[in-house]
Amino acid sequence: MKNIVLTGFMGTGKTTIGKVLAKSLGRNLIDIDSEIEKDKGIKITEIFESMGEATFRAMETEMVDKISTLSNVVISTGGGVVLRQENIELLRKNGIVVNLTADPEIIYARLSGANDRPLLNVADPLAKIMELLDFRRPFYQNADIIIDTGDKTPIIAAEEIIQSAKLMN
Ligand code: S3P
């Protein structure tokens, strides 16, 4: 089977579902954000703060380029990876792109209490979630499989992904 690449907005379950998927398939899970943090020795929030989003996006593409050469892994991406067409093209070469979705209110509830999402560090995070989702919707739709995680446990969502991915091989 090709790589399984999870895309989706923050809080749609990429990391949690990625872990379940990797375990069920007996594969390694590679998280692009964690790889950037390891490689640069600095947290994503600090990259945004001290170097800005544009620098982060360049680091993200550099890491996508490297990770997309792997095979037989589950790849969890950062929520903004879809913004560059180049990233999706690289990830799709050897991967099935699975977009995870959830309603803004669910995303908001899942992320409440988290302080590691620099883009949501604003006065009205729910409004910001809605604004970003509206803008990004067409980018997220550029996927092979779309799964709504709002009403599913991670195990059910992972099972659905495995079944859909099997049909694509
Ligand atoms: C981002 C999502 C984050 C992280 C960065 C930017 C985004 O990843 O890459 O804060 O632009 O949506 P998660 O989706 O894993 O939270």
Task: List per-block mean pLDDT (blocks of 10 residues) for the chain, which spans 169 residues.
Answer: 95 97 97 98 96 97 98 98 98 97 97 90 96 98 97 97 87
Paired tokens of 43: 């947290």
116 Cα: distance to centroid of ligand 1 (angstroms): 9
Q: Residue 114 carries which DSSP code?
A: -
| Structural domains of the chain, ranges and CATH numbers in brackets | 3-168 (3.40.50.300)
Q: Which residue type does 74 have? A: V
Does the annotation list 117 as a binding residue?
yes
Which segments within 16-149 are labelled E, that is strand?
Answer: 29-31, 74-76, 95-101, 145-148
pLDDT at res. 103 = 98
- Main-chain phi, psi angles of 124, to 5 degrees: -125, 85
DSSP reduced 3-state for 135: helix
142 Cα: distance to centroid of ligand 1 (angstroms): 18
pLDDT at res. 166 = 87
Give the burial class of 1: count Cβ atoms within 10 A of its Cβ; 0-12 exposed, 13-18 middle, 19 or more buried: middle
Handedness of CA 19, 21, 23, 27 (dihedral sign): negative
125 Cα: distance to centroid of ligand 1 (angstroms): 14
- Main-chain phi, psi angles of 74, to 5 degrees: -100, 130
Exposure string (b/e) for 128-139, b if CB count within 10 Å is 16 or more? bbbebbeebeeb
pLDDT at res. 169 = 66
Cβ of 8 closer than 6 Å to ligand 1, yes or no, is: no
Separation of alpha carbons 28 and 97, rounded Å = 17
